[in-house]
Amino acid sequence: GYERGAFSGAVSRKRGQFELAHQGTLFLDEIGDMAPAAQAKVLRALQTSEITRVGGETTITVDVRVLSATHRNLKAEVEAERFREDLFFRLNVVPIHSPPLRDRVQDIPAIVQAFIQEICDENGFREKEIDAAVVQAMQKYHWPGNVRELKNVVERMVIMGDERIVMRDLPRDLVGSAPSPAVMAGSNKTLREFREYMESEYIRFKLEELEWNVSQTATVLGIERTNLHKKMKALGIKR
């Protein structure tokens, strides 16, 4: 916060985040990206339960519960001297580890459905349905951007797609992506079994994308239509 006249443009007093959160909770998102000067101010507020507005002389007592989040490894940031060790220990009272989305692909269907409903409500759309094949493809993607990336993808498909979200609505970088580590975990397949599994998954994926047009799928895969039929029969691929 700052006092009136503290700097050019400070035409009136403004309360800061700690002051606004008095007797409540303050959430500090991506605290691992906080500048060193800001880290020092947060540490002082946590240690003394006091803040001073910029340009002010009065110390203000605050009672705030602080929650923070980061995608960074703060221990590594401390060792690299990019994050204050004393602030780290102040914040690391009750740590909660949230695993990345790629390690909990079983949650993706429910998260996707929740995002579809939220985005449809925000845009005044009738709630859209999504093909199971689309969700399965999303479960095989590794999601480096975690839930934020997932929401962006769902929002794009909801806004740009028709009444039903189908394979052609998926962004190109999700098409044909490798299985996530969680999908592979615990697999005891032999190399031959795994090769057949991947071949089956990719053929099914292309068939879904092309709405089960066998001739077009064979052309895209670069094989004869009769060969594709044989593979579908051998791999047990049915619509």
In this prediction, residue 161 carries a pLDDT of: 84
Cβ atoms of 70 and 30 closer than 8 Å:
yes
What band does 29 get if pLDDT is binned at 50, 70 and 90? very high
149 confidence band (pLDDT: 50, 70, 90): very high
In percent, the amount of the chain with pLDDT more than 90 equals 49
Position 175 scores a pLDDT of 67
CA gap 30, 112 in Å, rounded = 24
Mean pLDDT, the chain, integer: 88
Determine contact, residues 165/129, Cβ cutoff 8 Å.
Answer: yes
pTM equals 0.58
pLDDT single digits (tens) 167-207: 888 887 776 554 555 555 545 667 777 778 778 878 887 88
pLDDT, one tens digit per residue, over 101-142 is 988 999 999 999 999 999 999 989 999 999 988 898 899 888
Mean pLDDT of 41-45: 95
- Average pLDDT on 149-173 reads 88
d(CA 92, CA 194): 42
Q: Which residues are CB-contacts of 174 (< 8 A; sequence separation ≥ 6)?
A: 137, 138, 141, 153
pLDDT at 191: 75
> In order of start, what are the domains of the chain with their CATH numbers?
17-91 (3.40.50.300), 101-235 (1.10.8.60)
Q: How confident is the model at residue 154 (pLDDT cuts 50, 70, 90)?
A: very high
| Cα–Cα distance for residue pair 40/83, rounded to 1 Å | 10
In terms of C-beta distances under 8 Å and separation of at least 24 residues, what long-range contacts does 210-213 make, across chains too?
A: 211/166, 212/239
- Measured in whole angstroms, the distance separating CA 41 from the mean position of its chain's CA atoms is 29
pLDDT in tens, 214-225: 998 898 888 899
- Taking only the tens place, the pLDDT of each residue in 82-91 is 999 999 999 9
| DSSP string across 28-47 | ETTGGG--HHHHHHHHHHHH
Rg (CA), the chain: 26
Is the pLDDT higher at 10 or at 25? 25
- φ/ψ of 10, rounded to 5, equals -85, 80
pLDDT: is 155 or 197 the higher one?
A: 155
Q: Quick one: pLDDT at residue 78?
A: 95
